[in-house]
Amino acid sequence: DVDPKIIDGKAMARQVEDELAAEVTHMKETNGLVPGLAVIIVGERKDSQTYVRAKRKACERVGIASFGYDLPEATTQHDLEVLIEQLNVRADVHGILVQLPLPSHIDSEVVLDKISYEKDVDGFHPLNMGRLCMAGGGREEPRFVPCTPKGCIEMLKRKNVAVAGKNAVVLGRSNIVGLPAAMLLNQMDATVTICHSKTQDLAAKVRDADILVAAVGRAQFVPGDWIKPGAVVIDVGINAVEDASKKSGYRLVGDVDYASCYEKASLITPVPGGVGPMTIAMLLRNTVDGAARSLE
Ligand code: NDP
């Protein structure tokens, strides 16, 4: 049976994919347009390869054309920038994703800034990030919102979680997750507290949270006794911990201690199978949106 407390990110992502597949079919039939996503990976990091494989497979499932660029570790900054410039002007590419982290000899900031903000499906371009932070009051919206925080918000929406007026606590302030998550919750009229490594009395801050977004990158960091009874817990963390009972020798856990937080929460996302699949679904969403805008 389905546990109503658990936000099943995998099932929800499948639902989003079904919706997108229908939109993609419609786009093909009415406009002859196939949304295209370029996925660039530099080097051989195993975790990055796994993520990239998952993204490409997801594209296939909904009918997005994915263009893979698997570049060697020794790729120069110049060559990577040239590739991005070519992709920026290609009509069949509506989204460009550079898998992070890049090798240390490459300046990621310069590379990400090269991506046309109209194809910036990860939403990391300063123009998209800036517009996200300055949104509201009739201002121009960002072309794209970063996929992981967008996935967190989509989960709240699809679970009909009331956000306006609630206390939302975001653990972590990275440009990729924590900061944009806080901006999005703020736009939904939550009262947002952003916590980080210098925050004093974290427990007291978290105890105030009606909605908690945990993105600290520390295994099982948040204990159940920090959770306000009935709170909604969105666990972004993906941490590998040793587990001799697994063939791989490890298992994945989130940034919250699932068992004890589950007891206190009204809704909680599991790891794996929570925010992860929704992140990929939002990448597909962004790509299809990019393609739709190319028709305007
Ligand atoms: P970063 O390492 O970039 O950021 C971590 C944040 O947590 C920082 O703001 C840091 O504070 C804060 N932090 C670290 N330690 C503490 C502490 N002891 N107390 C309070 N705050 C602390 O990580 P990301 O934002 O990139 O990722 C966070 C987690 O989410 C990781 O587990 C990552 O694997 C996962 N992730 C999952 C994705 C998904 O698809 N599900 C996608 C992206 C990430 P400070 O700023 O002061 O250093």
The CATH architecture annotation of domain 147-276 reads 3-Layer(aba) Sandwich (3.40)
Query: Ligand 1, residues 12, 147, 177: which to mutate, most atoms within 8 A of Cβ?
Result: 177
Residues above pLDDT 90, as percent of the chain: 97
pLDDT for 135? 81
Q: Check: CB of residue 58 under 8 Å from CB of residue 284.
A: yes
In the residue annotation, 99 being an active-site residue is answered as yes
Domains 31-117 and 147-276 share a fold: yes
177 CA: nearest ligand 1 atom: 25
Please tell me the total number of residues recorded for the chain in this structure.
Answer: 296
Q: Evaluate: CB of 276 within 6 angstroms of ligand 1.
A: yes
pLDDT at 1: 66
DSSP letter for 279, please.
Answer: H
Tell me the residue ranges of DSSP E strands in 45-166.
65-71, 95-98
Q: What angle do CA 175, 176, 180 make, to 5 degrees?
A: 70
For residue 79, how far is its CA from the centre of ligand 1 (angstroms)? Answer: 30
**Is the whole model's pTM more than 0.95, yes or no?**
yes
pLDDT at 138: 86
85: CA distance to ligand 1 center in Å?
31
Strand pairing class (267-268; 36-42): unpaired
Number of other CB atoms surrounding residue 207 within 10 Å: 16
Our answer on whether the CB atom of 198 is closer than 6 Å to any ligand 1 atom is: yes
> Do residues 110 and 77 make contact, with C-beta atoms less than 8 angstroms apart?
yes
How much is the pLDDT for 209?
98
- DSSP labels for 170-207? EE---TTTHHHHHHHHHHTT-EEEEE-TT-S-HHHHHH
Q: How far is the CA of 176 from the centre of ligand 1 (A)?
A: 9
Q: How far is the CA of 15 from the centre of ligand 1 (A)?
A: 28
Residue owning tokens 């009935």: 230
Q: Which atom of ligand 1 is nearest to the CA of 198?
A: 47
Provide CB contacts within 8 A for 96, sequence distance 6+: 37, 38, 40, 84, 87, 88, 115, 116, 119, 120, 121
Q: Is the CB of 196 under 6 A from ligand 1?
A: yes
CB of 67 closer than 8 Å to CB of 116: no
CA of 104 to the centre of ligand 1 (A): 20
Q: Whose CA is nearest to atom 5 of ligand 1?
A: 216
Q: Is 216 in the pocket of ligand 1 (CB under 6 A)?
A: yes
Q: Which of 116, 128, 80, 79 has the alpha carbon at shortest distance from 100?
A: 80
Q: What is the rounded end-to-end Cα distance, in angstroms, of the chain?
A: 45
Domain definitions of the chain by residue range:
31-117, 147-276
- Ligand 1 pocket, residue 174 CB under 6 Å: yes
From 120, 122, 210, 235, active-site residue: 122
The low-confidence residues of the chain, meaning pLDDT below 70, are 1
Q: Give, for ligand 1, the residue of 236, 250, 280, 284 to mutate: max count of ligand atoms closer than 8 Å to Cβ.
A: 236
Give the right CATH number for 31-117 from 3.40.50.10860, 3.40.30.10, 3.40.190.10, 3.10.200.10.
3.40.50.10860
Residues 171-196 have pLDDT tens digits of: 999 999 999 999 999 999 999 999 99
